Amino acid sequence: MAKKQDFIYVVLAIGVVLVMALVIKPAATGELAGLWGSEEPAVTPAWTPSIPPVTTAPTPTPVPTWNGKPQPIGFVDPATYQISTEENRLNMTVLPAGTAPGTTRWVTYATIDGQWSGTTGIVRVPFPMWRLDYSDITTTNDEIPFFNCQVMDAEDPNRFVRIVTLNFPDFLAMKDKPDLKKQQWVSTFYEGYHDYYFVINTRRIGSYHLKIQVPEGYLST
């Protein structure tokens, strides 16, 4: 009888140890849920920074060289340059006209031909000095002719580089004097390597043929 009771005590002791090992200890450490087949907590993968793709800078378009022939400059919609109807003549650069010392011959780089008022496209002058020849202008009325040409800086629409204006006294003084007109109706610009456009206003003008000219010596540079 005593041996049977001892056996029962041993079994009970083993049961207590198993309950403590399988239930009480896991409950205290938070591992109880994993024992009954529940899903393991998801593991967040480590963050890997993304590397942007390598891009190459676009190759600039080279400026074509001048072939020595005059290039015509066409007209565009004045709204292209956001030109206001009110004239703003601030930042106007006024330089003396004339031919540079030692210049023997001017060659025509570009031309502007027309009759009516208009705004030209942009032309780049790839030389350090140039001039505007406006001597070839005809009128349809000798009493009220008017010609106005505004040379504009294409990179700064508020800058009037120069303004050329011819009224009745100017046309009258040069009437029947074509040689004198060719000498005096020119305007030299001591700046270059720049983009320009021209705003032209006319009244009673039959035609005009403007020439952008550069010294002949620049052709060999």
> What are the extents of the domains in the chain?
2-33, 71-220
What's the CA gap between 157 and 145, in Å, rounded?
Answer: 28
Segment 138-160 mean pLDDT: 92
Segment 177-202 mean pLDDT: 95
* Residue 217, pLDDT score: 86
Q: Is 98 a residue whose pLDDT tops 90?
A: no
182: which residues sit within 8 A by CB, 6+ positions away? Answer: 133, 135
Structure tokens at 114: 């027309």
Q: Is 39 a residue whose pLDDT tops 70?
A: no
User: What type of residue is 140?
Assistant: T
- From start to end of 62-193, where are the E strands? 71-72, 75-76, 106-114, 118-120, 123-125, 130-139, 146-153, 160-166, 186-189
* Residue 10, pLDDT score: 64
CATH: 2.60.120, 3.40.50, 3.10.530, 1.25.40. Which one for 71-220? 2.60.120
Alpha-carbon distances, residue 1 vs 5, 12, 151 (angstroms): 6, 17, 128
Which is more confidently placed, 99 or 25?
25
User: Which has the closest alpha carbon to 166: 191, 123, 197, 200?
Assistant: 200
Beta-carbon count within 10 A of 163 CB? 16
pLDDT digits (tens, 9 = 90+) for 47-83: 555 555 554 444 444 555 777 778 888 878 777 776 6
β-bridge mates for residue 203, sequence order: 146
* pTM, rounded to two decimals: 0.60
* Residue 57, pLDDT score: 44
User: Which has the closest alpha carbon to 131: 217, 211, 40?
Assistant: 211
* Residue 9, pLDDT score: 65
